[in-house]
Structure 1
Amino acid sequence: MPNSETVLTPPSVETREGRRRLPAFMSENITPIVAEWENFARTLTPTSDGMTPLALRDHIHQILQFVVVDIQSEQTPKEETIKSMGNKARKPDSTAAETHAALRLSGGFNIGQITSEYRALRASVIKLWRRTNPLMDEKDFEDLTRFNEAIDQELTESVTYYTDEVLRSKDLFIGILGHDLRSPVQAITLSAELMSRLGSLNERQIMLLGNMYDSAGRINALIDNLVDVTRARFGTSLAIIRSVMDFGYVAHQLVDETRAVHPSRDIKLNISPGSLKGEWDKARIGQVFSNLLSNACQYGFKDTSIEVGIASDRESVTLTISNRGVPIPAERISSIFNPLTRATAKTGQHASMNLGLGLYITNEIVAAHGGTIQVTSSEHQGTTFTLWFPRYRSKPALHLA
Structure 2
Amino acid sequence: MNLCSTSLSKIERLIMAQSRLADFLRSNLEPILMAWEDFARTIEPPALTMSDEELRDHARQMLLVFADDLEEPQSELQRENKSLGLAPQVRGDTAAETHAETRLLSGYTVVQLVSEYRALRASVLNLWSHDTSMDHASTINDITRFNEAVDQAVAESVARYQLLVNKSQNMFLAILGHDLRNPLGALVMGSSAIMQALDIPPKYVQIATRMFRSADRMNRLVHDLIDFTRTHLGSSIPINTRPNDLAAVCEQVVNELRTAHPGRLIALEAPPSLMGNFDVDRIAQMLSNLLANALKYGSADQPVTVRLSSSTEGTLIEVNNQGPLIPADKLATIFEPLVRLASAQDLVSECTSLGIGLFVAREIAEAHSGEISVSSTPAQGTTFVVTLPR
Q: Same fold (TM over 0.5)?
A: yes
- Whether 2:361 is the aligned partner of 1:326: answer no
Q: Work out which of the residue numbers 293, 300, 306 in structure 1 matches 2:298.
A: 300
How far apart, in 2, do the equivalents of 1:327 and 1:89 lie? 49
Query: Deviations along 1:228-266, whole A, 9 cap, x unmatched?
Result: 222234443222222233333322322333334334444
Q: Contact 1:115–1:159 at 8 Å: present in 2 too?
A: no
Q: 1:278 to 1:193 in 2, by over 3 A?
A: closer
2:282 aligns with 284
3-state SS in 2 of match to 1:303? coil
Deviation (angstroms), 1:304: 2.6
1:372 aligns with 371
TM-score, with length taken from structure 2: 0.63
1:66 aligns with 61
Q: Contact 1:98–1:158 at 8 Å: present in 2 too?
A: no
What amino acid sits opposite 1:326 in the alignment? P
1:102 aligns with 102
Q: Contact 2:326–2:376 at 8 Å: present in 1 too?
A: yes
Query: Deviations along 1:11-31, whole A, 9 cap, x unmatched?
Result: xxxxx99x7473553331655
What amino acid sits opposite 1:385 in the alignment? F
Query: Deviations along 1:346-377, whole A, 9 cap, x unmatched?
Result: 9xxx8424333322221222233333222221
3-state SS in 2 of match to 1:294? helix
Q: Contact 2:237–2:363 at 8 Å: present in 1 too?
A: yes
Q: 1:300 to 1:161 in 2, by over 3 A?
A: closer
3-state SS in 2 of match to 1:295? helix
How far apart, in 1, do the equivalents of 2:339 and 2:92 lie? 44
Q: 1:248 to 1:49 in 2, by over 3 A?
A: farther
Deviation (angstroms), 1:314: 4.3
Summarize the alignment of residues 2-401 of structure 1 with structure 2, pairs less than 5 Å apart. 20=20, 22=22, 25-28=25-28, 31=31, 61-66=56-61, 98=98, 100-104=100-104, 106-109=107-110, 163=163, 167-179=167-179, 181-189=180-188, 192=191, 200-271=199-270, 276-314=274-312, 316-342=314-340, 351-391=350-390
Q: 1:100 to 1:292 in 2, by over 3 A?
A: closer
What amino acid sits opposite 1:290 in the alignment? S
Unaligned runs of 5+ in 1: 1-15, 42-47, 73-83, 135-143, 392-401
How far apart, in 2, do the equivalents of 1:378 and 1:335 lie? 17
Percent identity over the alignment?
A: 29
RMSD: 5.2
Q: 1:301 to 1:200 in 2, by over 3 A?
A: same
What amino acid sits opposite 2:379 in the alignment? H
3-state SS in 1 of match to 2:110? coil
3-state SS in 2 of match to 1:318? strand
What amino acid sits opposite 2:217 in the alignment? R
How far apart, in 2, do the equivalents of 1:352 and 1:215 lie? 15
How far apart, in 1, do the equivalents of 2:293 and 2:96 lie? 51
Larger helix share, 1 or 2: 2
Q: 1:245 to 1:165 in 2, by over 3 A?
A: same
Unaligned runs of 5+ in 2: 1-15, 69-87, 136-144
Deviation (angstroms), 1:122: 9.0
3-state SS in 1 of match to 2:353? coil
TM-score, with length taken from structure 1: 0.62
Q: Which moved more, 1:29-38 or 1:186-195?
A: 29-38
What amino acid sits opposite 2:214 in the alignment? S
What amino acid sits opposite 2:108 in the alignment? G
How far apart, in 2, do the equivalents of 1:115 and 1:215 lie? 45
How far apart, in 2, do the equivalents of 1:194 and 1:368 lie? 35
3-state SS in 2 of match to 1:312? strand
Q: 1:190 to 1:37 in 2, by over 3 A?
A: same
3-state SS in 1 of match to 2:58? helix
